[in-house]
Amino acid sequence: MASPSRKVRNALLHLKEEVTRIYEAAKLGYQSTGIEFNWTLWAFSSLRRQLFWSKEVKKRSQFLRQDFLSYNLNSVNTIMIFGVPRTMPILGKKIQTECSLGTNILSYRFDIPLASSSTSPQIPMQASKTNNNKETRKNNNNNNEKDGLRLQANCIYNREEMKIYRMG
């Protein structure tokens, strides 16, 4: 993560309330936003924030009750996702069309299908002898442009149940 001393603080977003993450990020000085569609989880998070968090941490944190897909990711540079497998392709497309270069995406448990500049599609053995890596990357980039994706991501961490991607 970037230093909290930066002029513009990082935003930490996540799905499926993990209130502790929002609290810890805000405590470290990051502007933190939790997004929850479920009313009960949103109410629990908001109440916990109001009753137990310090004034300073409250200033740097908020919980929004809305659909993650309606939240604009243009100014966000760190995203934490607690999602389910069926939503990951939708989130992947949203992240790639809205996030900026250098955005970090943390995903708990499930892969996010993001176009990658370091991985190539599976090529049959016979075809792999005739295709070089540059050509494969060029084809990947053309496919991403057709899909409306403007950035690619690399998985920079994949251990146990946590995956971290960096847009770049």
Length of the chain in terms of residues written: 168
Kindly state whether residue 4 falls inside one of the protein's structural domains. Answer: no
Vertex 56 angle, CA 23 and 7, to 5°? 90
Query: What angle separates helix 19-27 from helix 39-52, to the nearest 10 degrees?
Result: 40
Vertex 34 angle, CA 44 and 47, to 5°? 25
Measured CA to CA, the distance from residue 57 to residue 46 in angstroms comes to 13
Kindly state whether residue 41 falls inside one of the protein's structural domains. Answer: yes
Measured CA to CA, the distance from residue 16 to residue 129 in angstroms comes to 45
**Whether pLDDT at 72 is above 90:** yes
Q: What is the CATH number of the domain that holds 42?
A: 3.40.50.150
- What average pLDDT does this structure show over 105-110? 88
Q: Structurally, how many domains does the chain consist of?
A: 1
Average per-residue pLDDT for the chain: 75
Measured CA to CA, the distance from residue 107 to residue 165 in angstroms comes to 8
Range of the domain at 109: 11-167
Kindly state whether residue 95 falls inside one of the protein's structural domains. Answer: yes
Kindly state whether residue 6 falls inside one of the protein's structural domains. Answer: no
Kindly state whether residue 1 falls inside one of the protein's structural domains. Answer: no
Q: What does pTM read for this prediction?
A: 0.67
**Whether pLDDT at 100 is above 50:** yes
Q: Which residue has the higher pLDDT, 66 or 121?
A: 66
114 confidence band (pLDDT: 50, 70, 90): confident
Q: Is 41:18 a contact under the CB 8 Å cutoff?
A: no
Kindly state whether residue 141 falls inside one of the protein's structural domains. Answer: yes
